[in-house]
Homo-oligomer: A and B are copies of this chain.
Protein backbone atom coordinates (compact mmCIF):
# COMPACT_ATOMS: atom_id res chain seq x y z
CA UNK A 1 0.00 0.00 0.00
CA UNK A 2 2.71 2.43 0.98
CA UNK A 3 5.05 3.33 -1.79
CA UNK A 4 8.43 3.49 -0.10
CA UNK A 5 11.29 1.17 -0.98
CA UNK A 6 11.07 -2.04 1.02
CA UNK A 7 14.70 -2.66 0.25
CA UNK A 8 15.97 -0.19 2.83
CA UNK A 9 17.94 -2.37 5.22
CA UNK A 10 21.65 -1.56 5.01
CA UNK A 11 23.90 -3.92 3.20
CA UNK A 12 25.87 -4.90 6.31
CA UNK A 13 22.95 -6.82 7.83
CA UNK A 14 20.68 -7.37 4.86
CA UNK A 15 21.32 -11.03 4.30
CA UNK A 16 21.53 -11.98 7.95
CA UNK A 17 18.63 -13.32 10.00
CA UNK A 18 18.72 -10.23 12.24
CA UNK A 19 18.34 -8.09 9.14
CA UNK A 20 14.96 -9.66 8.48
CA UNK A 21 13.77 -9.09 12.06
CA UNK A 22 14.88 -5.48 11.94
CA UNK A 23 13.20 -4.95 8.60
CA UNK A 24 9.96 -6.47 9.91
CA UNK A 25 9.91 -4.27 13.02
CA UNK A 26 10.57 -1.09 11.04
CA UNK A 27 7.97 -1.97 8.44
CA UNK A 28 5.41 -2.67 11.15
CA UNK A 29 6.03 0.82 12.54
CA UNK A 30 5.59 2.46 9.14
CA UNK A 31 2.55 0.40 8.20
CA UNK A 32 0.82 1.30 11.46
CA UNK A 33 0.93 4.95 10.49
CA UNK A 34 0.19 4.43 6.82
CA UNK A 35 -2.02 7.51 6.43
CA UNK A 36 -4.60 5.54 4.53
CA UNK A 37 -4.92 2.93 7.24
CA UNK A 38 -4.90 5.67 9.91
CA UNK A 39 -7.80 7.45 8.21
CA UNK A 40 -9.74 4.22 7.69
CA UNK A 41 -9.47 3.44 11.37
CA UNK A 42 -11.38 6.58 12.33
CA UNK A 43 -13.52 7.26 9.27
CA UNK A 44 -16.04 4.70 8.09
CA UNK A 45 -19.06 4.84 5.84
CA UNK A 46 -22.05 2.52 5.84
CA UNK A 47 -24.69 3.61 3.40
CA UNK A 48 -25.39 7.28 4.03
CA UNK A 49 -23.84 7.26 7.50
CA UNK A 50 -20.35 8.59 7.91
CA UNK A 51 -18.85 7.64 11.26
CA UNK A 52 -15.96 9.75 12.56
CA UNK A 53 -14.33 8.30 15.66
CA UNK A 54 -17.68 6.94 16.78
CA UNK A 55 -19.69 10.05 15.97
CA UNK A 56 -22.24 9.58 13.20
CA UNK A 57 -23.04 12.03 10.41
CA UNK A 58 -25.86 11.45 7.91
CA UNK A 59 -24.55 12.40 4.50
CA UNK A 60 -28.14 12.98 3.45
CA UNK A 61 -28.26 15.97 5.78
CA UNK A 62 -25.38 17.72 4.02
CA UNK A 63 -25.62 19.31 0.64
CA UNK A 64 -22.08 18.60 -0.51
CA UNK A 65 -18.83 17.30 0.97
CA UNK A 66 -15.60 19.23 0.40
CA UNK A 67 -12.09 18.05 1.18
CA UNK A 68 -9.12 20.17 2.19
CA UNK A 69 -5.75 18.66 2.94
CA UNK A 70 -2.34 19.98 3.93
CA UNK A 71 0.91 18.28 4.87
CA UNK A 72 3.44 15.67 3.85
CA UNK A 73 0.87 12.86 4.20
CA UNK A 74 -2.04 14.70 2.59
CA UNK A 75 -2.02 12.74 -0.68
CA UNK A 76 -2.43 9.40 1.09
CA UNK A 77 -4.91 10.79 3.63
CA UNK A 78 -6.97 12.41 0.88
CA UNK A 79 -6.85 9.20 -1.10
CA UNK A 80 -8.36 7.31 1.84
CA UNK A 81 -11.08 9.91 2.38
CA UNK A 82 -11.90 9.96 -1.34
CA UNK A 83 -12.15 6.17 -1.45
CA UNK A 84 -14.49 6.15 1.54
CA UNK A 85 -16.69 8.99 0.29
CA UNK A 86 -16.79 7.85 -3.33
CA UNK A 87 -19.35 9.85 -5.27
CA UNK A 88 -20.33 11.76 -2.14
CA UNK A 89 -17.12 13.75 -2.38
CA UNK A 90 -17.92 16.90 -4.29
CA UNK A 91 -14.54 18.57 -4.66
CA UNK A 92 -11.25 18.98 -2.90
CA UNK A 93 -7.90 20.74 -2.87
CA UNK A 94 -4.84 19.42 -1.10
CA UNK A 95 -1.32 20.81 -0.70
CA UNK A 96 1.66 18.52 -0.35
CA UNK A 97 5.42 18.71 -0.63
CA UNK A 98 6.14 15.70 -2.85
CA UNK A 99 3.78 14.99 -5.72
CA UNK A 100 3.47 11.25 -6.34
CA UNK A 101 4.81 10.05 -9.70
CA UNK A 102 1.47 8.50 -10.47
CA UNK A 103 -1.63 10.27 -9.17
CA UNK A 104 -3.98 7.87 -7.31
CA UNK A 105 -7.22 7.46 -9.27
CA UNK A 106 -9.34 8.20 -6.19
CA UNK A 107 -8.10 11.78 -6.38
CA UNK A 108 -9.96 12.55 -9.60
CA UNK A 109 -12.14 15.15 -7.89
CA UNK A 110 -9.32 16.45 -5.75
CA UNK A 111 -6.87 19.01 -7.02
CA UNK A 112 -3.37 18.19 -5.81
CA UNK A 113 -1.15 21.27 -5.39
CA UNK A 114 2.42 21.62 -4.31
CA UNK A 115 3.83 23.87 -1.61
CA UNK A 116 7.31 24.51 -0.28
CA UNK A 117 8.83 23.21 2.94
CA UNK A 118 10.32 24.30 5.33
CA UNK A 119 10.30 27.88 3.96
CA UNK A 120 7.08 28.98 2.23
CA UNK A 121 7.33 30.32 -1.34
CA UNK A 122 5.03 31.83 -3.98
CA UNK A 123 4.07 28.24 -4.76
CA UNK A 124 2.70 27.81 -1.22
CA UNK A 125 0.76 31.06 -1.58
CA UNK A 126 -0.71 30.05 -4.92
CA UNK A 127 -1.75 26.65 -3.59
CA UNK A 128 -3.29 28.26 -0.51
CA UNK A 129 -5.28 30.51 -2.83
CA UNK A 130 -6.63 27.35 -4.53
CA UNK A 131 -7.85 26.13 -1.12
CA UNK A 132 -9.54 29.46 -0.47
CA UNK A 133 -11.07 29.49 -3.96
CA UNK A 134 -12.58 26.09 -3.18
CA UNK A 135 -13.93 27.24 0.18
CA UNK A 136 -15.52 30.26 -1.60
CA UNK A 137 -18.02 27.74 -2.95
CA UNK A 138 -18.86 26.28 0.46
CA UNK A 139 -22.29 27.01 1.95
CA UNK A 140 -23.59 26.51 5.49
CA UNK A 141 -25.32 23.26 4.54
CA UNK A 142 -22.09 21.69 3.30
CA UNK A 143 -19.60 19.47 5.13
CA UNK A 144 -15.87 20.17 4.97
CA UNK A 145 -13.45 17.37 5.71
CA UNK A 146 -9.90 18.42 6.50
CA UNK A 147 -6.82 16.19 6.63
CA UNK A 148 -3.75 17.75 8.23
CA UNK A 149 -0.30 16.28 8.70
CA UNK A 150 3.22 17.35 9.55
CA UNK A 151 4.99 19.94 7.44
CA UNK A 152 1.74 21.77 6.81
CA UNK A 153 2.61 25.20 8.22
CA UNK A 154 4.74 26.44 5.28
CA UNK A 155 2.49 24.71 2.73
CA UNK A 156 -0.69 26.52 3.80
CA UNK A 157 0.40 30.13 4.05
CA UNK A 158 -1.40 33.45 3.58
CA UNK A 159 0.38 36.30 5.32
CA UNK A 160 -1.70 38.91 7.11
CA UNK A 161 -2.00 42.44 5.69
CA UNK A 162 1.32 44.23 6.07
CA UNK A 163 3.55 41.14 6.05
CA UNK A 164 5.19 40.27 2.74
CA UNK A 165 6.18 36.77 1.69
CA UNK A 166 9.82 37.83 1.78
CA UNK A 167 9.49 38.96 5.37
CA UNK A 168 7.77 35.70 6.33
CA UNK A 169 10.58 33.78 4.62
CA UNK A 170 13.23 35.71 6.51
CA UNK A 171 11.35 35.18 9.77
CA UNK A 172 10.92 31.44 9.13
CA UNK A 173 14.56 30.97 8.39
CA UNK A 174 15.52 32.73 11.64
CA UNK A 175 13.00 30.67 13.60
CA UNK A 176 14.29 27.42 12.11
CA UNK A 177 17.84 28.04 13.30
CA UNK A 178 17.40 29.92 16.60
CA UNK A 179 16.49 26.86 18.66
CA UNK A 180 12.81 27.73 19.14
CA UNK A 181 10.41 24.86 19.77
CA UNK A 182 7.66 24.12 17.26
CA UNK A 183 5.19 25.59 19.77
CA UNK A 184 7.15 28.83 19.88
CA UNK A 185 7.60 28.92 16.12
CA UNK A 186 3.91 28.35 15.49
CA UNK A 187 2.82 30.97 18.04
CA UNK A 188 4.48 33.50 15.75
CA UNK A 189 3.37 31.94 12.46
CA UNK A 190 -0.27 31.82 13.55
CA UNK A 191 -0.33 35.51 14.41
CA UNK A 192 1.05 36.52 11.01
CA UNK A 193 -1.24 34.38 8.90
CA UNK A 194 -4.86 34.53 7.80
CA UNK A 195 -5.56 30.79 7.75
CA UNK A 196 -3.61 29.40 10.74
CA UNK A 197 -4.69 29.15 14.38
CA UNK A 198 -8.31 28.25 13.63
CA UNK A 199 -8.73 31.10 11.15
CA UNK A 200 -9.41 28.82 8.16
CA UNK A 201 -12.84 28.38 9.77
CA UNK A 202 -13.63 31.98 8.86
CA UNK A 203 -13.64 30.90 5.22
CA UNK A 204 -16.13 28.01 5.47
CA UNK A 205 -19.31 30.12 5.78
CA UNK A 206 -20.52 28.26 8.83
CA UNK A 207 -20.32 24.76 7.34
CA UNK A 208 -19.62 21.82 9.62
CA UNK A 209 -15.92 20.89 9.67
CA UNK A 210 -14.37 17.51 10.48
CA UNK A 211 -10.58 17.45 10.85
CA UNK A 212 -8.41 14.34 10.81
CA UNK A 213 -4.87 14.83 12.06
CA UNK A 214 -1.77 12.71 11.57
CA UNK A 215 0.57 14.17 14.16
CA UNK A 216 4.28 14.74 13.78
CA UNK A 217 4.54 16.75 16.99
CA UNK A 218 5.69 15.36 20.33
CA UNK A 219 2.72 14.86 22.65
CA UNK A 220 0.30 15.42 19.76
CA UNK A 221 -0.96 18.94 20.52
CA UNK A 222 -3.61 19.19 17.79
CA UNK A 223 -3.32 22.98 17.50
CA UNK A 224 0.32 22.68 16.46
CA UNK A 225 0.14 20.24 13.51
CA UNK A 226 0.09 22.36 10.35
CA UNK A 227 -0.44 25.35 12.70
CA UNK A 228 -3.99 24.14 13.42
CA UNK A 229 -6.05 25.86 10.68
CA UNK A 230 -9.31 24.53 12.18
CA UNK A 231 -8.30 24.06 15.81
CA UNK A 232 -8.59 26.48 18.78
CA UNK A 233 -5.33 28.29 19.49
CA UNK A 234 -4.35 29.06 23.08
CA UNK A 235 -1.34 31.20 22.05
CA UNK A 236 -1.53 35.01 21.91
CA UNK A 237 0.15 37.97 20.21
CA UNK A 238 1.99 38.51 23.49
CA UNK A 239 3.33 34.93 23.39
CA UNK A 240 4.54 35.50 19.83
CA UNK A 241 6.36 38.69 20.75
CA UNK A 242 7.94 37.00 23.76
CA UNK A 243 9.47 34.36 21.49
CA UNK A 244 11.14 37.09 19.41
CA UNK A 245 12.58 38.53 22.61
CA UNK A 246 13.52 35.16 24.14
CA UNK A 247 15.77 34.31 21.20
CA UNK A 248 17.10 37.85 20.78
CA UNK A 249 15.67 38.08 17.27
CA UNK A 250 14.78 41.79 17.47
CA UNK A 251 17.58 42.72 15.09
CA UNK A 252 17.07 39.77 12.75
CA UNK A 253 13.32 39.73 12.23
CA UNK A 254 11.88 42.47 9.98
CA UNK A 255 10.64 45.48 11.95
CA UNK A 256 7.30 45.39 10.11
CA UNK A 257 6.71 41.86 11.43
CA UNK A 258 7.45 42.96 14.96
CA UNK A 259 5.19 45.96 14.67
CA UNK A 260 2.32 43.74 13.51
CA UNK A 261 2.77 41.59 16.61
CA UNK A 262 2.96 44.73 18.78
CA UNK A 263 -0.27 46.05 17.21
CA UNK A 264 -1.85 42.72 18.11
CA UNK A 265 -0.62 43.00 21.68
CA UNK A 266 -2.11 46.51 21.81
CA UNK A 267 -5.49 45.07 20.78
CA UNK A 268 -5.62 46.56 17.30
CA UNK A 269 -5.67 43.24 15.46
CA UNK A 270 -7.90 40.22 15.74
CA UNK A 271 -6.58 37.31 17.79
CA UNK A 272 -6.45 33.72 16.55
CA UNK A 273 -9.60 31.71 17.35
CA UNK A 274 -9.59 30.80 21.01
CA UNK A 275 -10.87 27.72 22.84
CA UNK A 276 -14.55 28.24 23.68
CA UNK A 277 -15.28 30.23 20.51
CA UNK A 278 -18.78 29.15 19.33
CA UNK A 279 -17.39 28.40 15.85
CA UNK A 280 -15.91 25.22 17.34
CA UNK A 281 -19.42 23.94 18.15
CA UNK A 282 -19.58 22.94 14.51
CA UNK A 283 -16.20 21.19 14.38
CA UNK A 284 -14.86 17.76 15.30
CA UNK A 285 -11.14 17.04 15.43
CA UNK A 286 -9.64 13.55 15.59
CA UNK A 287 -6.06 12.35 16.00
CA UNK A 288 -5.78 9.43 13.57
CA UNK A 289 -2.08 8.62 13.83
CA UNK A 290 0.99 9.50 15.84
CA UNK A 291 4.47 8.48 16.81
CA UNK A 292 2.98 6.39 19.60
CA UNK A 293 0.99 4.18 17.23
CA UNK A 294 4.10 3.49 15.19
CA UNK A 295 6.15 2.76 18.31
CA UNK A 296 3.46 0.45 19.70
CA UNK A 297 3.22 -1.46 16.42
CA UNK A 298 7.00 -1.87 16.37
CA UNK A 299 6.94 -3.22 19.92
CA UNK A 300 4.19 -5.68 19.01
CA UNK A 301 6.08 -6.87 15.94
CA UNK A 302 9.28 -7.29 17.96
CA UNK A 303 7.34 -9.38 20.49
CA UNK A 304 5.93 -11.49 17.68
CA UNK A 305 9.51 -12.28 16.65
CA UNK A 306 10.32 -13.46 20.16
CA UNK A 307 12.07 -10.30 21.29
CA UNK A 308 11.51 -8.63 24.65
CA UNK A 309 10.16 -5.24 23.69
CA UNK A 310 10.10 -1.99 25.61
CA UNK A 311 8.49 1.23 24.48
CA UNK A 312 10.72 3.65 26.34
CA UNK A 313 9.18 6.97 25.36
CA UNK A 314 7.67 8.95 22.51
CA UNK A 315 8.75 12.27 24.05
CA UNK A 316 12.45 12.26 23.12
CA UNK A 317 13.89 15.65 22.30
CA UNK A 318 17.16 17.48 22.75
CA UNK A 319 20.45 17.44 20.91
CA UNK A 320 20.65 14.53 18.45
CA UNK A 321 24.21 13.39 19.22
CA UNK A 322 23.46 13.30 22.97
CA UNK A 323 20.35 11.24 22.34
CA UNK A 324 22.48 8.77 20.40
CA UNK A 325 24.98 8.53 23.22
CA UNK A 326 22.17 8.02 25.73
CA UNK A 327 20.65 5.23 23.68
CA UNK A 328 24.09 3.60 23.50
CA UNK A 329 24.18 3.75 27.32
CA UNK A 330 21.07 1.56 27.34
CA UNK A 331 22.60 -0.87 24.87
CA UNK A 332 25.71 -1.14 27.06
CA UNK A 333 23.62 -2.08 30.08
CA UNK A 334 21.89 -4.85 28.14
CA UNK A 335 25.32 -6.22 27.22
CA UNK A 336 26.59 -5.91 30.81
CA UNK A 337 23.66 -7.22 32.85
CA UNK A 338 20.67 -7.95 30.57
CA UNK A 339 18.96 -4.81 31.88
CA UNK A 340 16.58 -3.07 31.32
CA UNK A 341 15.74 -6.10 29.15
CA UNK A 342 17.23 -9.53 28.60
CA UNK A 343 18.30 -10.48 25.09
CA UNK A 344 16.91 -10.81 22.53
CA UNK A 345 15.56 -7.33 23.10
CA UNK A 346 14.22 -4.31 21.30
CA UNK A 347 13.91 -0.86 22.86
CA UNK A 348 11.89 1.76 21.01
CA UNK A 349 12.20 5.48 21.61
CA UNK A 350 10.34 8.07 19.57
CA UNK A 351 10.35 11.81 19.38
CA UNK A 352 12.18 14.59 17.61
CA UNK A 353 15.71 15.62 18.34
CA UNK A 354 17.45 18.78 17.19
CA UNK A 355 20.84 19.37 15.62
CA UNK A 356 22.92 22.38 16.56
CA UNK A 357 24.85 23.06 13.38
CA UNK A 358 28.57 23.45 13.91
CA UNK A 359 29.92 22.35 10.54
CA UNK A 360 28.67 22.40 6.99
CA UNK A 361 28.44 18.65 6.36
CA UNK A 362 25.44 16.75 5.14
CA UNK A 363 22.97 14.90 7.33
CA UNK A 364 19.76 14.96 9.27
CA UNK A 365 18.87 14.58 12.90
CA UNK A 366 18.30 10.81 12.63
CA UNK A 367 21.67 10.26 11.00
CA UNK A 368 23.28 12.45 13.63
CA UNK A 369 21.66 10.44 16.46
CA UNK A 370 23.30 7.37 14.90
CA UNK A 371 26.68 9.05 14.52
CA UNK A 372 26.48 10.25 18.13
CA UNK A 373 26.09 6.61 19.21
CA UNK A 374 29.07 5.19 17.30
CA UNK A 375 31.56 5.53 20.14
CA UNK A 376 29.18 4.40 22.86
CA UNK A 377 28.13 1.31 20.87
CA UNK A 378 31.69 0.29 20.04
CA UNK A 379 32.48 -3.31 20.90
CA UNK A 380 28.92 -4.40 21.71
CA UNK A 381 28.00 -7.78 20.29
CA UNK A 382 24.91 -8.50 18.19
CA UNK A 383 23.62 -5.07 19.03
CA UNK A 384 22.64 -2.17 16.84
CA UNK A 385 20.85 1.13 16.93
CA UNK A 386 18.64 2.01 13.98
CA UNK A 387 17.26 5.52 13.49
CA UNK A 388 14.36 6.33 11.21
CA UNK A 389 12.63 9.49 10.04
CA UNK A 390 9.16 8.08 9.45
CA UNK A 391 8.65 10.38 6.45
CA UNK A 392 11.72 8.79 4.86
CA UNK A 393 13.42 12.15 4.53
CA UNK A 394 15.99 12.85 7.20
CA UNK A 395 17.12 16.43 6.79
CA UNK A 396 17.99 17.53 3.26
CA UNK A 397 19.17 14.01 2.32
CA UNK A 398 17.82 10.98 0.46
CA UNK A 399 18.25 8.80 3.58
CA UNK A 400 15.73 8.10 6.35
CA UNK A 401 18.30 7.29 9.00
CA UNK A 402 21.25 5.03 9.69
CA UNK A 403 22.37 1.90 11.46
CA UNK A 404 25.15 1.70 14.06
CA UNK A 405 26.44 -1.55 15.45
CA UNK A 406 29.21 -2.59 17.81
CA UNK A 407 31.53 -2.93 14.82
CA UNK A 408 30.84 0.45 13.20
CA UNK A 409 33.72 2.25 14.91
CA UNK A 410 36.19 -0.50 14.05
CA UNK A 411 35.03 -0.67 10.44
CA UNK A 412 35.24 3.11 10.15
CA UNK A 413 38.77 3.13 11.55
CA UNK A 414 39.71 0.44 9.07
CA UNK A 415 38.55 2.76 6.30
CA UNK A 416 40.39 5.73 7.78
CA UNK A 417 37.16 7.47 8.82
CA UNK A 418 37.22 9.47 12.07
CA UNK A 419 33.66 9.35 13.45
CA UNK A 420 34.32 12.26 15.81
CA UNK A 421 35.52 14.41 12.96
CA UNK A 422 32.38 13.66 10.90
CA UNK A 423 30.30 14.51 13.96
CA UNK A 424 32.14 17.78 14.41
CA UNK A 425 31.28 18.72 10.82
CA UNK A 426 27.63 17.51 11.06
CA UNK A 427 28.50 15.17 8.21
CA UNK A 428 26.70 12.01 9.27
CA UNK A 429 25.45 11.31 5.74
CA UNK A 430 28.92 10.96 4.25
CA UNK A 431 30.11 8.87 7.20
CA UNK A 432 27.32 6.31 6.89
CA UNK A 433 27.32 6.45 3.11
CA UNK A 434 30.91 5.23 3.08
CA UNK A 435 30.23 2.64 5.78
CA UNK A 436 27.24 1.48 3.76
CA UNK A 437 24.80 1.80 6.63
CA UNK A 438 22.34 4.46 5.50
CA UNK A 439 18.65 3.55 5.50
CA UNK A 440 17.01 4.61 2.28
CA UNK A 441 13.27 4.17 2.19
CA UNK A 442 12.48 7.07 -0.09
CA UNK A 443 9.48 9.28 0.85
CA UNK A 444 7.08 7.06 2.80
CA UNK A 445 3.99 9.19 2.43
CA UNK A 446 3.54 9.31 6.19
CA UNK A 447 5.03 11.56 8.86
CA UNK A 448 4.90 10.84 12.57
CA UNK A 449 8.33 12.13 13.42
CA UNK A 450 11.30 9.95 14.36
CA UNK A 451 11.85 6.50 15.81
CA UNK A 452 14.96 4.94 17.31
CA UNK A 453 15.36 1.22 17.81
CA UNK A 454 17.95 -0.60 19.90
CA UNK A 455 18.19 -4.23 18.86
CA UNK A 456 20.20 -6.56 21.13
CA UNK A 457 19.83 -9.93 19.47
Quick check: B332 and A325 within 8 Å, CB to CB?
A: no
Closest to A295 in B: B339
Cα of A330 to Cα of B339 in the assembled complex, Å = 16
Quick check: B340 and A312 within 8 Å, CB to CB?
A: yes
Quick check: A317 and B337 within 8 Å, CB to CB?
A: no
Q: Which of A304-328 contact B (CB under 8 A)?
A: 310-319, 322-323, 325-326, 328
Q: A313-B340, A339-B311 are in contact. Are A326 and B330 (CB under 8 A)?
A: no
Contact with B along A384-395 (1 / 0, CB 8 A): 000000000000
Chain B residues contacting A340 (CB-CB under 8 Å) are: 310-313, 340
Interface flag for A431 (CB, 8 Å): no
Q: A326-B326, A337-B292, A340-B340 are in contact. Are A332 and B319 (CB under 8 A)?
A: no
Chain B residues contacting A234 (CB-CB under 8 Å) are: none
Chain B residues contacting A351 (CB-CB under 8 Å) are: 329
A199 to chain B, nearest CB (A): 28
Cross-interface CB contact of A333 among B314, B317, B376, cutoff 8 Å: B314
Chain B residues contacting A292 (CB-CB under 8 Å) are: 336-337
Chain B residues contacting A326 (CB-CB under 8 Å) are: 316, 318, 322-323, 326
A88 to chain B, nearest CB (A): 36
Interface flag for A219 (CB, 8 Å): yes
Chain B residues contacting A311 (CB-CB under 8 Å) are: 333, 337, 339-340
A57 to chain B, nearest CB (A): 29
Contact with B along A57-90 (1 / 0, CB 8 A): 0000000000000000000000000000000000
Cα of A364 to Cα of B10 in the assembled complex, Å = 42
Closest to A335 in B: B315
Closest to A333 in B: B313
Cross-interface CB contact of A315 among B316, B322, B333, cutoff 8 Å: B333
Q: Count the copies.
A: 2
Cα of A114 to Cα of B329 in the assembled complex, Å = 35
Q: Which of A160-177 contact B (CB under 8 A)?
A: none
Q: Which of A254-304 contact B (CB under 8 A)?
A: 292
Cross-interface CB contact of A318 among B312, B325, B336, cutoff 8 Å: B325
Cross-interface CB contact of A329 among B316, B328, B339, cutoff 8 Å: B316
Cα of A376 to Cα of B323 in the assembled complex, Å = 15
A216 to chain B, nearest CB (A): 17
Cα of A330 to Cα of B313 in the assembled complex, Å = 5
Q: A318-B322, A319-B319, A322-B318 are in contact. Are A312 and B330 (CB under 8 A)?
A: yes
Among A312, A314, A316, A330, which residue has the most Cβ atoms of chain B within 10 A?
Answer: A312
Quick check: B313 and A332 within 8 Å, CB to CB?
A: yes
Q: Which of A173-225 contact B (CB under 8 A)?
A: 219
Closest to A312 in B: B340
A323 to chain B, nearest CB (A): 7
Cα of A312 to Cα of B347 in the assembled complex, Å = 11
A222 to chain B, nearest CB (A): 15
Quick check: A312 and B333 within 8 Å, CB to CB?
A: yes
A174 to chain B, nearest CB (A): 20
A248 to chain B, nearest CB (A): 12
Cα of A376 to Cα of B218 in the assembled complex, Å = 12
Cα of A317 to Cα of B332 in the assembled complex, Å = 12
A368 to chain B, nearest CB (A): 14
A selection of 23 A-B contacts at a CB cut-off of 8 Å is A219-B332, A219-B336, A292-B336, A310-B340, A311-B333, A311-B339, A311-B340, A312-B333, A312-B339, A313-B329, A313-B333, A313-B339, A315-B328, A315-B332, A315-B376, A316-B326, A316-B329, A317-B325, A317-B329, A318-B322, A319-B319, A326-B326, A329-B351
Q: 4 closest Cβ contacts across the A-B interface?
A: A315-B329, A313-B333, A315-B332, A313-B329
Given contacts A312-B340, A315-B333, 18 further A-B contacts (CB under 8 A): A292-B336, A310-B339, A310-B340, A311-B333, A311-B337, A311-B339, A311-B340, A312-B339, A313-B329, A313-B340, A315-B330, A315-B332, A316-B329, A318-B326, A319-B322, A322-B322, A323-B326, A340-B340
